[in-house]
Each structure stands twice: as structure tokens, then as C-alpha cells.
Amino acid sequence: MRKPIIAGNWKMNNTIRESKALVTELLPLIKDANCDVVLCVPFTDIKSVVSLTKGSIIKVGAQNVHFAENGAYTGEISATMLKELKVNYCIIGHSERRQYFGETDETVNKKIAACLKYKIKPIVCIGETLQQRESNQTKDILKNQIIEGFKGYKSKDFEKIIIAYEPIWAIGTGKTATAQDANSTIKHIREVLKKYFGLSISQKTRIQYGGSMNAKNAFELMSMPEIDGGLIGGASLKAQDFSKVVNYDKK
Ligand code: PGA
């Protein structure tokens, strides 16, 4: 019922030249994928990656957006600018943006609106730190991020929204949540969605797992009933590795 979605998050990696080489190598490797495939690339790579992937199954995403239409926000990029470049997805509220760039549930909430207005699908990241996990706060943290981040959004909006559950302690650390752990936390996320937004939204919303997902563990994670995809950092930077995650169902 929920189509799997595998998204690469290149973070601050790949010049235009490097991105061309990576995408050129990747395209033939993923052409028979059974899932939605997205590459969230640096702003500077968008134009060339959109042009290289035209007519393929790869859709292009950004990694951030400002919530305003335009104005005196030095260094920022708006959703209308992204739309003009044919961006289809945008990561919102990644933990690195929350940690280093002051992103909050409130800015997440506004950025979702900016994306939806321009028919850009938001990939909204939520997740707990190691310290929060160890002090048993995971459920509360996720609940708050959901209630505040998605405040005011309705069923029609959730059709476009993708949630990425990324336990912060698993990002870039090589530590992955066990498939069972990730599955049960995502189940909890669905329970919160059900309670605050309704049964249908909780059943229909696609929820990815992110945090050291790679060629080796993708199959097991993707076999879990609650996990609908992955947000892949490190392993999206090599065509071979990322293609194996995308082709997780082809053993
Ligand atoms: P990782 O990053 O796969 O390198 O852990 C995932 C992410 O930050 O989205």
C-alpha cells in the first residue's frame, strides 16, 4: 500500500563535476528499481543532476529551504527558487540542521508549508539523541517533534509528506538501530500520528529509517512492516553502495 522510497542525502559533498560522475555511474545500476528513488543534493548540484536524471526514475531533492517567499535572508533559498529548478523533494529539519543551524520544530512547521505550496514533497526528519534515548525520553521527544512540526496539517497535506525517523546516535556513526528497534519506534510514530492526526494518516504516511543504512543492512531494515524506506547519507556517496540499497529487494 505504501510505496517504498529510498533517498540519498549527499550533505555537503560533491562538486558539479563529482556529482556528474556519480549520477552517470548510478543511472544504469538503478534503472529497474521497484521503489521511488530520490537524490537530495547540494543547491549547487541541482541544475546538473536534474538535467542528467531527466526521463529516469531518479527525482531530485534539496536538503533545506527557507520558509519565506523571498526577502532579506542572506544566504537562503526559497521554495519558489527550488521549484523553478524542478526540485521534487526537500529534506526538512535534519538533525544536523537542528544541531548546527538553529532549526526548530517551529521552523520545520513553516518550511513544510513553503514546500507544499510549490508541490515539493517534504522529507521531515525527527529523532532522538543518545542521551535522550538512554534517559528513556525517545517516545516523548518524537511525540513533541510530531505535534509541533506538523501542527495544522491535514490529510491532504500528509499525502505529500514523508517522515524520516533518524536516531541521531546512528547518523554517520556506523551504529544502526536494530531492525526490530527501528520498526518498533516507527510503530510508535504511527501511534502518535493516529492519536493526533487520525487513523488514515497514520496508515498512509510513508516513514523512512535513516542512520547508517547501507548495502549490508538495507534488506533487513526494509523487510520490517513499518519501515517504508531509507534516508541514506554516507552510503549514497558511492554509486555501487547506493544502488545496492535501492535494489535491496533483488538479492
Ligand atoms: P548516514 O546519514 O547514512 O551517513 O548515517 C543519514 C542521514 O543523516 O540522513
Predicted pLDDT at 172: 86
Domain ranges of the chain: 5-250
pLDDT single digits (tens) 208-219: 999 999 999 999
φ, ψ for residue 5, nearest 5 deg = -140, 120
Local mean pLDDT, 10-residue blocks, the chain (251 residues): 96 98 98 98 98 98 98 98 98 97 98 98 97 95 98 96 96 88 97 97 97 96 98 98 97 71
pTM of this prediction?
A: 0.97
Q: What is the CA radius of gyration of the chain?
A: 17
User: In degrees, to the nearest 5, what angle opens at C-alpha 141 toward C-alphas 210 and 177?
Assistant: 30
Question: Exactly one of 96, 103, 128, 166 is catalytic; which is it?
Answer: 166
Predicted pLDDT at 59: 98
Any ligand 1 atom below 6 A from CB of 210: yes
pLDDT single digits (tens) 47-96: 999 999 999 999 999 999 999 999 999 999 999 999 999 999 999 999 99
What's the CA gap between 245 and 214, in Å, rounded? Answer: 6
CA-nearest residue for atom 2, ligand 1, is 233
Any ligand 1 atom below 6 A from CB of 99: no
Look over the chain and give the mean of its residue pLDDT values, rounded to a whole number: 97
Closest CA to 68 of 55, 60, 77, 59: 77
Any ligand 1 atom below 6 A from CB of 211: yes
Residue 71 CA to ligand 1 centre (angstroms): 32
State which of 13, 231, 237, 244 you would mutate to test the pocket of ligand 1, scoring each by most atoms of that ligand within 8 A of its C-beta.
231
Q: Is the alpha carbon torsion for 80, 82, 88, 89 positive or negative?
A: negative
Predicted pLDDT at 174: 84
Atom of ligand 1 nearest to the CA of 164: 9
73-89 burial, b at 16+ Cβ within 10 Å, e below that, comes to eeeebbbebbeeeebbb
Predicted pLDDT at 1: 84
Cβ neighbourhood burial of 152 (10 Å; 0-12, 13-18, 19+): exposed
Is residue 94 flagged as an active site residue?
yes
CB 240 within 8 A of CB 246: no
CATH number of 5-250: 3.20.20.70
Atom of ligand 1 nearest to the CA of 213: 3
